[in-house]
Every structure is written in C-alpha cells, then in structure tokens.
Amino acid sequence: MRVLTIVLAALLMLSCAGKMGEKSHPPSTPPPAVTGSVHLTFIGVFGTEKMSPWGMSFGADGTLYVCDRDHSSVIRMNSEGKVISRFNGLESRVERIFAPIDVCASGGIDIYVLDGANSRIIRLDRDLRNAFVVYNGRSEEKNRFGTFNGIAYDRESGDLYTTNGSDGSLIRMDMVSKKVSTTGGFGSEKKSLLEPIGLDVDKDGALLVADRKYGAAAVIPHFGTDIRYAGKEVLEAPVDVAALPRDRLAVADRRGVVILSRTGTGEGLAGFGVDREMAPRSVAYREGKLYISDALSGSVLVYKYETN
C-alpha cells in the first residue's frame, strides 16, 4: 500500500509539472507595435491560379508580373487578376528560367527577370516574349555575381540594380554601355549590407533595400554614400520593400507586412496573425492597394491602403 501511494504521488507530481510546463511556455511573438496611422484592410486574392509567388512588379500599363518559382515561370496578369501570358523558356534551354525569384517591370518597356539558380538576368518584352540573356554570371567570371536576391530599375538613369547576398553588396548595371559595377560588400565602410534581399527605387532615386540579416530596411540616397537603416526595432527578418506615397515604406517581413515611416516608426501592418497568418515573399503598391505575394497561401493577397 505504501509503495502504491508513493507511485501515485510521483505520477501526480509529473502531471502537475507537465501542466506547469505548458503554462510556462512563452507566448507567440506579438506583432510589431504600430501607431495606426496607416490602415490595411484585406480585400481578397488577386487571381485564381495557385502559385509559388516570389518577386513581383507592376508594368506601366497596370499589369502585374509575378515569379512563380516552383513552376519555373513568370506570369503576367491583367487588372482583374486573369493570367494573360506566361514565360518559362521551355522552347530554348539557353533562355529557360529555372528559379525565377524577382522581376522588374517598372521601366515600362522591357521586363527583367532574375534567375537565381543560374546567376542570370533575362530580358523580355511586355508580353513575355523575345527572351534574351542580359547577364550570365557563370560565363562572365570577371564580374561574376554570387547569390542573386532582388532587382530594381532606376528610371532616371535607366540602370538596373541587383543585390548580392553572398557578400552584402549592391550591383549596378549600365544597360547602355553594359558596364557592371559593384559597391559595398563585407568589410566596406560605406554601403555595406549584411544580407540584402528585395529592393526598390523611390521617386527621388533613393535605393530601398530589405536587409534580412540586419533586420531592417536600408535607405541609400541617390548618389549618396552612407546607409541609413529604418525599422531595426520593429522588423524581424525583412525580405522585400516597396516605396509608398509620402515617403513611407512597405516592408515584407517574416510573418507579415509592416508600413514604416522613413524614421523607422511602425505605422500599420497586415498579417502577423492579427488578421491572418502569412509568409510574404514580395510586396508591391499601386493606386491605393498593397499587393503581397504570400508563400503560405500560394497566392497574391490584396489590401486596401488608407492613411489618417
């Protein structure tokens, strides 16, 4: 009888410890603190086709280009979300896209696709035809890139910018002279990033870069030299950034999208379990709406963007 009592007591202690352990588990990470100056209201899903959406970009005519990475293709959707053209380069191995991770269509004429698996940039026309390899990092050893992460177009100069996650540098391509130049990198005193991913160019020509490892968005003035980081205390692991009206930034973070002021104040958010769970890959803005490529749902989410 005494042995049975001791056993029952031990089991009771283990049960209590288990319950106490359950209660002592730390709560899930709370969403970033924001002021509420910006309101994001979920409208719906853009398009009906299931994808593995990564980078995306709006063309001058309002059509949306999205990298569908798992299907090794880039798709073009009209304003209603209907797929009107697709490119995967199956007819030619030279121009074939293996792992499209970002696309830039803001130039209005040419569409540039970043093929991360092959360290290449492929140029297409607006209808996703006439493919041409602009840069092949594997064959041009002198200027060989490392890990492609993001691509953006500078309307003022006509140059392309890409981020190199291998050494934390920015790469600038002069599309007229075909000159390639690299700025920054590990050990550089200026323009040194840790793990740059997505990027954008704002109306004033400033570069906006999501630095995942640093946990902030970098702002580099046009022709500037120094980096200014925003959102270090707000963001977790940002992967993309888009310029917004009134000098705000939309940053795709690990669990949602955060709207930042240029000083780094969180002003609004979507996701983070507040309205839904999501895993953003890219973010884009157009005419009062925010578009989020979400790996979790396999779709592009659309939010109405409003300010106080």
CA-based torsion, 260, 262, 264, 266: positive or negative: negative
How much is the mean pLDDT over the chain? 83
Task: State the residue for tokens 């790996």.
Answer: 295
Q: Which two tokens stand for residue 87?
A: 């490119």
Percent over 90 (pLDDT), the chain: 56
Q: Out of 41-50, 174-183, 226-235, 242-251, give the one with best mean pLDDT.
A: 242-251
Do 58 and 64 meet the contact criterion of CB atoms below 8 Å apart?
A: yes
Query: 213 or 2: which carries more pLDDT confidence?
Result: 213
Q: Letter for the amino acid at 194?
A: L
Q: Out of 48-52, 116-120, 203-207, 291-295, give the one with best mean pLDDT.
A: 291-295
Q: Out of 14-28, 139-153, 210-224, 248-262, give the one with best mean pLDDT.
A: 248-262
Q: What is the CA radius of gyration of the chain?
A: 22
Q: What is the dotted CATH code of the domain comprising 31-307? A: 2.120.10.30
Query: Mean pLDDT lowest for which of 99-103, 179-183, 235-239, 256-260?
Result: 179-183
How many helices (H) and strands (E) are present in the chain, helices listed first? 1, 24
Do 95 and 89 meet the contact criterion of CB atoms below 8 Å apart?
A: yes
Question: Which sequence spans correspond to the domains of the chain?
Answer: 31-307
pTM above 0.95, yes or no: no
96 has a pLDDT exceeding 90: no
Class of residue 173 by CB neighbours under 10 A (exposed 0-12, middle 13-18, buried 19+): buried
Q: What are phi and psi of 3, to 5 degrees?
A: -65, -40
**Per-residue DSSP letters for 225-284?**
---EEE-TTT-SS--EEEE-GGG-EEEE-SSEEEEE-TT--EEEEEETTTS----EEEEE
Question: What is the predicted pLDDT for the residue at 134?
Answer: 85
Question: What is the predicted pLDDT for the residue at 35?
Answer: 96
Which strands form 83-87's sheet, in the order they lie side by side? Answer: 53-58, 64-68, 73-77, 83-87
Question: What is the predicted pLDDT for the residue at 82?
Answer: 93
Do 76 and 85 meet the contact criterion of CB atoms below 8 Å apart?
A: yes
Question: What is the predicted pLDDT for the residue at 252?
Answer: 98
Query: 238 or 165: which carries more pLDDT confidence?
Result: 238
